[in-house]
Each structure stands twice: as structure tokens, then as C-alpha cells.
Structure 1
Amino acid sequence: MIQKLKRRLTFLMAALTSLVLGGALIVTWNLSQKQFETSAEALFDSNFSSMCDRLSDTATVTDVWLSEQELGTGCLLFLQDNGSALHYTGSLSSESPRSELESLALEGAELFLDRSNLDQNGAVIQQEAHYNLGGSGGDFYHCAAALLPRGTQGEYLLLVMMQEQGFLTRHMLWSALQYIGLWLAGSALLTLISYWLVGKALAPTAQALRQQKEFIAAASHELRSPLAVVKTSLQALDETQPPERQQQLLRNAQSETDRMARLTDDLLLLANGDLGNLPTHLEAVAPDNLCIELYDQFYLLARQASHGLTLTLPDTAVPAIQADGGRLKQLLAILLNNAMEHTPAGTGIELVLCGDGAKAPITFLVVDHGHGIPNEDKAHIFDRFYRADTSRTSKRNFGLGLSVARELARLHHATLTVEDTPGGGATFRLQFNSERK
């Protein structure tokens, strides 16, 4: 399901970003094309003006000079001196015959330029016109025509410069292909980036789903055993059994029912913690009084399990903390039970409270002197249904105790960690924030 969602989100994200990229490239291409056309038009006008200035200042024009100008500007040139066309072979080729283009160009100039328009001295007034025309070969041209005066008797020189417009279309197609290639490459890169980002975004969800599946599978496995015992005990319970056997079967069913009740309580607490719905009642709690109550509660239990339990309190008064007294006692009880269950008989267990001074953090320590916890297990002992040493785990233990403890610590904005006890064993450290009201 996650992979399918990942593919869909990647496609959606890549499509949206590619559309944005495509829109930006279209705008950029359009601006670039317009700028190219403007630059080409400006260059054409500049070349035409320079040629007009040159022809206005010179009395003779040679074929060599005209050929050089055609090659230099990339434009066809046609001249007419007082109505007589100046023919020369030209240096540029064209789709339509050159003679045809010359006739069209001069005819077009006649439409826009007035040779009879003279000044007071009888000289032709210099005029300029721009127009477009097409040849029979499918070629299309932009033309600039100028009527240049040659003396004061109405003489003139007609210049027509023609620029074939196919280069604009070729440039447009070539740049469009470049921008399409850029869009394809950008879209591919955006797809890879989208795949990576979606993977990063869905990683916590994938992990949560994986943990949920593992959690459900482990819970189902843990519930199967006590249910099987209850079912077997009830099936075997009939009047033919001796009273002692009947009582034993009932005790077995009751014991397994209690185990299932503890398991469901732990599962409920963890589920509510995941949802942020774990109820708490925060109030001022005296840490030293809480430790004394726990000591009184666990002293006899520790003796019955052949453990010596000691309590160490600070010499000075410890400030109160804001906590849920019942939940905090439950947390420390889990740590004490864990110490008794996972350490050999005859070893001591210590409950230590640290917190001298108004600014010192309140810290609860549960110290045992057993075999300790291997380094490779320290990173997992707070995982749900994790058992570091199954050979020393009692039937009562589901591997949820330390998970519940860490959830309760998180509920109090405290940190719960484990470290090695000097000389052997494990020390669980519950530390509250040093900033206390």
C-alpha cells in the first residue's frame, strides 16, 4: 500500500512541478524569441541605415562592393538609378529566381515611395518604406526601400534590401527543440527529486505501519497462549474431575485471565499514548515521599525474591515536581519489577533519588547488580514486545513493561535511559527537566 501511495504521490508531485517548469519555460522561450526577433530587426535596420548613408556619400557603386554587402548582411540588394535597374549576379541564392524578386521588390517600392516629391531646390526628398512580399518558391521576405536624392534635377537612387524570414522560423524551431529537451531533462530530474522527497515524507508512515503490523502480530501471538490455557482448562473442567483438580484448573484459567487483563491494559496505555489521548492528572508531587511509598511497597516483595532493596535520598529537601502521582509510581514500579525479574537472587537493588539544589534536575535511579544489558540490546529494550534474554524472562512478562515505562516518561516530558552499573548490572535513569516551577 505504501509503495502504491508512493508511486501516486511521486507522479502527482512530478506532474505538478513539470507543469510549473513547462509554464516557466514557455514564458522564457516566448520572451527569448521576441528578443531575438527584435534584435534581428534592429540589426536589419542598422545595416540598412548604414548602407543608405554610404550610398548617399558615394557617386559610384561596384558589383564587388554590393557582393560584399550581401554577404555581410545576409540580405538581397537591388538598386535602381533614375528608373534603370543596376543588374549584377549577386552573391546570395534564393528559392525564387533573383529576377523575379527584383521585379517584386521594385514594384513594391513604387507603391510606397513618391519620386515626384521634390524639395524647393528640385531635389528628391529622401524617403523610406518597409513592406513584406513572398516569392514563387515559398520564400518570404521583409523589405526596406529608400529613395536617395542624387543632385538637384530630380535624380535619385532607389535601394531595396530584402531579408529572407525563414531564419526566424528555423531559429524558433531550433530553440523550441532546445527548450523541450530542457523540459524533458528537468522533468526527469524533478521526478527523481519527487521520488526521493515522497520517500522521505512517507518514511515515518511506512515505519508506523510496519510497527503497527508487528505490534498486532506480537499481540496476537501473546494472547494466543493464555487463551489456549483458558480454553483447555474450561474444556477439562467437568464433574468427573476431583475437587482439587477442578480448583487447579480454575486457578490456571484465573491466572491466564489476569495475564490477558494486564496485557490489554498495557496495550490500551500504549495505544492511547500513540494517539495522544492518555489521561493524566498533573499535580505537585513530592519525589522523596513517592520514593518512600515505593520502598514500603516493594521491600517485602524484594525479600521474597531474595533481593535486598535499599533507598537513597538526598540530604536536603527536594522540590516538588508537576506529575501524575499514580502514573509516576506505575513507571517506577515497572523499573523495580524489571530489576527483580532480570537479576539473580541474592543481588541488591537500589532506588536512588537525586536532586540537590533548586536548579538541579530531579533524577530517579533504579540500580541493579545483575548481568547487565549487552550494548546491542540497549537500543531495543524499550521496543514493544522485545525481550533481551528470553531464557530469563518469566511467563508474566510480555515485553511491554519498558515500552510502557518510556511512554509514561514521555507523558511527563522526562527522559528514560539505561546505562551500565559500575561493577556490573544495569541502571535505569529517569530524569525530569531542570526548569521547575
Structure 2
Amino acid sequence: MTQTLPDLTAALIEAARRAGADAADAVAVADETLSIEVRGGALEHAERAEGMEIGLRVFVGNRVASVQSSDTRAEMIATLAERAVAMARIAPADPWAGLADPDQLARDTDAAALDLVDPTRPEPAALEEVALAAEEAALAVQGVTQMQAAGAGWSHRRSHIEGTNGLSVSGERTGWSTSAVAISGSGLGMERDYFGDARTHRADLTSAEEIGRIAGRRAVDRSGAIKPPTGRFPVIYDERISAGLIGHLLAAASGAAVARGASWLKDARGEAVLPDGLDLIEQPHRPRASGSRVVDAEGLATRERAIVRGGVLQGWTMDLATARQLDEVPTASAGRGVSGGPSPVVGNVALTQGTHSKQELLAQMGTGLLVTSLIGSSINPNTGDYSRGASGFWIENGEIVRPVNECTLAGNLRDMLRGIVPANDARTHLSRVVPSLLVEGLTIAGA
């Protein structure tokens, strides 16, 4: 008889009880993926994978341990539980760890309204056709000399979490993706760029032809890139990478970082961290968005939450353990895989959009750098000092004059974020809805 995910978590919980655990929770995940890559009009790579993993977290008093396995046989489940309890008995005490109280658990765990599952299952040949169409469209762009890859993929994930506290939550979601990476020029003058789209439903995907065309145009636009001048200039983070800048704020507002004292925002609650009038809102119930969920990994009901309101930091992102450590109320932000315990995570967020287009921000900037790609990262978590490699386009008199690469941006995140000016070009279907952002006075190290 085939074991269902609830069967597996129930078996793990029962085995943990028999092994001597005072409390436990278990997670079971089943993944199915299919990916296709093409190159030169022919199939380059095809992969189909199916797998199941289980994880168990046990408590012996206030001592905790976690184990995981891809072996779901009954004898392995018993062995896992025994090992976990033995580990917990010698683990250091953790006064903050523990399951949710039963009255904290969400009453409604039905995620049907989020519409995260596309019942369609693709054939490999159909995905290959999509990838070939993206490649053909990119190669049709004048100036594209070759393709690094074009691909299409599909995934289906099912999960179930169960605990001795009455927790029992199932989840399911699908994913579809198309991508293309195009190259312009030749030899040492080659430049590369990409475009891709990922959705929960196939019908929402950008067409393969459009993905290929955008990837091709981007690669050609990068032809002849040189280093920009060195100095202090305004910088616009293009919409395709601007969410990363906001991601640094989200990381610093994590309760786990604050509890460790390793956050440049640790004393900033109630203070302005963004310009007046800007909100940063977590939106866990957006239909068809990849970061949506009705409950978190500890069974708490999710809700819309202001991380920043009117530019002012409202508080921290917390799971149960972090909230206990900080003597706060949890924000239903626990995320978890099969290994280890929960930790604070942020799903869908949206930053207030501005009233001007990116082109109008370029005109406002005058002379500076439009960043379209970032590499590497050197962020001091305690001070917010920021340094990243970048490439993009040099702007003069509000217009693009040439592509640039091999430069470094430096500044301090607190100052950078406090003065951002948002455009109005965010893509609202993304999990992180963040428009292009103008940042004044960054140091650019180039030529």
C-alpha cells in the first residue's frame, strides 16, 4: 500500500513518542520536477525527478534535535526517531524552542482560494517546444550571435506537517517556468543577458517568443560595455533587481538577526527606515503568487502585515522561538524544510509604487548609473555597510549613452534606503513587488 504524506508524518510522530520524546513535529514532502534545455535547435538536457523526504523534530524537556531522510520504510522511521531522541537528550537546553500551544493553531487551513495548483501535467515534448521557441526568438534578434541556453520547466510539490500539539496542515503548489540566456558579440567582446518568467499556472506565463526577444535585446544592448567613471553618483536599481535591495531590509528586520544582535536595524523599531509615505506590506494571501500561504510552518494563521508603514519600521519578522526570545507576539512567519527547525521568513511583499515612470526617474537623475545586474555581495550585518559588483548602463542628461560593466557600488544601507525614490514599474504578479528605485549618492568604483 502506498503511504500518503499524512501516513508518514503520523508514523514519525508515533515513533517519536515510543522512543521517549515529550513532544514532536514531523514534515513529509513529495517533489516532482521536469526540466528541458535546448541549444542550437536541439535537445541539450532533459531531467525528470521524483522524490520524497521526511523530517522529524523531537523535544525532550527543553532539549531539541532534528533528523531527516529520504528512506520512508517503517524500520527507518523507527531508527530516525530513536536517533533523534538520543541526540536531543545530549543537546544543550533551548529555553525558546517548542511547539505552538493548541489555541494558537489556525482553525482554517484550506488554501483553495490561493489557487496555487495548476492540474495540467506537461509532456517533455511540449516543454521542448517552448524552449525551442524561446531560443528561436532570441536568435532572431539582430546582433545575437549564440545562445547559452533556453529552457522550460515544471514542478509539483506536496507537503504535510503534523505535531503532537494537534498541528495538521497539508500544502500543494505547482510551478511553470521559461527562460533564455542570449549572447552578443564574439571573443573577448561577448556579452550575455537573460530573461525568464515563473508562475504557478502555465496560462499566466509570458510567451516563449517574448521571453526570447527580451533576452536577445538585452544581450545586444550590452554590446561594447566598458567601465563607468569613478565617483559619487546617483544610481537607479532596475526593477528586475531592485527587490534585492529591499531584501537587505527584510533580512535586517528578521527577529532571528535581531535576537543575535547581528542587525543594523536592531534598535530601529519605530524609526524611519524608508521615506515618508512608503509602506512595505507582507501579503500572504495573494492568489497565484509563489509566496502565498494560509498558515506558516508552525500552524499559525498568516495575515497581511505592515513591516514598514509610512516609512517607519513597525517590528520584526518572527517565528515562535524568536518571539519568545524577544518577548514579542509571533508574526506567523515560520518557514521550514525537512531538515532542522523553523526560522523566520517573509513571503510576498509589496513596496508602495511611485508616481513616475523609470524613464522619468532617469531624467530626474540626469547623470549616473542604471544597474541591471549585480554580482557578489559584501554586507556588514551590524553596520549596513554595502558593497556589490554591478553592471548596467551609463546615463547622461537622462538618457542611456553606453553599457557599462566591471564596477563596484558602495554605500550604507540605512542611508540608501532612507532616501529611495520608487518608480511605478513593478510587476504585480511577482512574490516581491518592488519597482525601480533611485538611490542618491552611491560611490561607484569604475575606470
TM-score, normalised with respect to structure 2: 0.20
Q: Which has the higher helix share?
A: 1
